Structure 1
Amino acid sequence: MATTLDSPPTPAKRTSEEDLVRAAKRKDRMTTWGWRIAGYVFFLGIWELASGRVMDENLLPGPSTVFRTFGELWATGEVPGAFATTLSRIAVGFTIAFVVGVGIGILMQNRFLNGFFRDAVTIGVTTPGLIWALITAIIFGNRTVGPLLAIVLTTFAIITVNVSEGIKSLPKDLLDMAKSFGVSLYKRNRHIVIPHLAPFIFTGVRFGFSIAWKVTVLTEVFAASEGIGFEMRTATQLFRLDEFLTWILAFYVLALFLDKIVLESLERRFFAWRGELKS
């Protein structure tokens, strides 16, 4: 009696929802980066064509000249030294501004202290950084305290506003429930208050840092003996436009690196506990 063996079933192609989502994200990321790179290529190409054709190359050095000058300045050690000086000022000044801003934001929950600080915070938010840079330059000259004070006066209010709004929107019902179940103050702060305030604080830090970066360079342009702003001023006084554009380009590159790479990485790492919403 003949027996027939059934052929084994053909293995089905495994395509899960996660694989599809991952592939879509990868495609979207490549498309985004492709258009971003195309934008850089387009504008740098227009700049290169304009240099020496639309305008004299001495008045508008092209990207190739600027990149070559950047390499020369880096080799001499001027770029790392100027970056280190400017970044150290930002680090110290913004740390002070952060501590002051958080402290005032907490104190403003009291209605009397809110009235005491309100106008100062409003002035801090609305006054352009250029004003503080000029004032500190006139008063302190090229002393180190000038840029530090300008950073604090310009950025503390942004931190204050974000912290104050975060505290006002704390989930009171959740805190009351935690108290009724005997949750300790440490655990309430760790699991409820800090996670709730973290987005407000990070938003204030990112906005404040971007402003602190610009104000620091402004104060160095007006009154400083070293730093990126000082190098910009020196290049303009000597009419070295290739060096001036090189320092501007270096300023942009470092600012983008600190914001998009450093701060965004810290933010993603801090909020990794939230994960991603999956449908």
Structure 2
Amino acid sequence: MKASTTKTSFKKIFILLFWLVIWEIFALIVNKEIYLPSPISTFKTLILLLIDKSTYIIILFSTYRTILGLLLSYIFGIILGFACGLNEFLYDLINPIVIVIRSTPIISIIILAIIWLKSSNVPVFATFLMCFPVIFTNVSTGIKNTDKKVLEMCKVYNISKFNIIKSVYFHSVLPYIYSAIISSIGIAWKASSAAEVLSVPKYSIGKYLFYAKTSLEPTSLFSWTIIIVTLSYIFEVIFKRVFKCERKSTYNKRYGVNYDKTK
């Protein structure tokens, strides 16, 4: 087990170093910091940002907006996805709006949000609208793909609708929710950052991306981008671990067997 973990760690370090070398090679070829800064100059700027206390306030506010947009998309996406998966007419009624939202360019959504809302609410709105279709579509698809034989057996034994939803539909849709949440995390950070760049709310990463662009500071631009990518990765890792723990707990309660021993 330890050997496998060590091997995985070395593999990740090798991949990271490989792409850093590629980045350095391209930076040397371009030989102009204004177009492509080197990894060393970028990380120097990143360190300066990380030792500045105000950076963490900026990260905190941007994270709050992104989380709020994500939570709203999860709440509405899961509830409407469940309802539309169970009711064909409701699905036909709601789905055209979802298609329109999914097809609308993010820039159009952000510009409209800037007209309608306060600058601090624009990233929340943009994140919600970009993530909602992903959650809704996955959940409704998961409900529709529930094993029909299991549902027929539930009818034969007169199992209540509530128990069918809790014990059959929920377990059927869970992998779809997991997939949707993993996909939506990256989308959320992209949408939120883009909205912050255009709406420029106080204490936002997007605001400093905008400043880096206008003042032609590519090292600052790259540094803030690294922070965004890192935050997105941290969110994804945390969710995967929480989901894994929840899955273990559910498995142990349901079957009375240690989940780890089955592997």
Tell me what 1:219 maps to.
195
Q: Pick one of 248, 270, 273 that aligns with 2:225.
A: 248
Query: How far apart in 2 are the matches of 1:123 and 1:248?
Result: 29
Which has the larger helix fraction?
2
Q: Report whether the alignment pairs 1:237 with 2:214.
A: yes
- Tell me which amino acid in the other structure corresponds to 1:126: S
Q: Percent identity over the alignment? A: 22
- After TM superposition, the score normalised by the length of structure 2 is 0.83
Tell me what 2:94 maps to.
117
Q: Report whether the alignment pairs 1:37 with 2:13.
A: yes
| More divergent stretch after superposition (127-136 vs 37-46) | 127-136
Q: 1:253-268 maps to which residues of 2 (within 5 A)?
A: 253-259=230-236, 261-268=237-244
Relative distance call for 1:104 and 1:185 in structure 2 (3 A) is closer
Relative distance call for 1:191 and 1:69 in structure 2 (3 A) is same
Q: Pick one of 134, 137, 149 that aligns with 2:111.
A: 134
Deviations 1:187-219 (A, max 9, x none): 544433322221111111121222111100000
Query: How far apart in 2 are the matches of 1:142 and 1:236?
Result: 23
TM superposition shift of 1:51: 4.1
- Tell me which amino acid in the other structure corresponds to 1:197: V
- Tell me which amino acid in the other structure corresponds to 1:164: S
| CA-atom RMSD in angstroms | 2.7
Deviations 1:53-87 (A, max 9, x none): 64134543322222222222122223212211111
Tell me what 1:89 maps to.
65
8 Å CA contact retained: 1:124, 1:155: no
- After TM superposition, the score normalised by the length of structure 1 is 0.79
Q: 1:32-181 maps to which residues of 2 (within 5 A)?
A: 32-51=8-27, 54-108=30-84, 109-137=86-114, 139-140=115-116, 143-178=119-154, 180-181=156-157
Relative distance call for 1:160 and 1:57 in structure 2 (3 A) is closer
Relative distance call for 1:146 and 1:58 in structure 2 (3 A) is closer
Relative distance call for 1:269 and 1:168 in structure 2 (3 A) is same
8 Å CA contact retained: 2:123, 2:196: yes
Tell me what 2:254 maps to.
none
| More divergent stretch after superposition (215-224 vs 199-208) | 199-208
- Number of residues of Structure 1 aligned to a counterpart in Structure 2: 253
Query: How far apart in 1 are the matches of 2:187 and 2:144?
Result: 25
Query: How far apart in 1 are the matches of 2:90 and 2:158?
Result: 31
Any unmatched runs of 5+ in structure 1?
A: 1-21
8 Å CA contact retained: 1:93, 1:148: yes
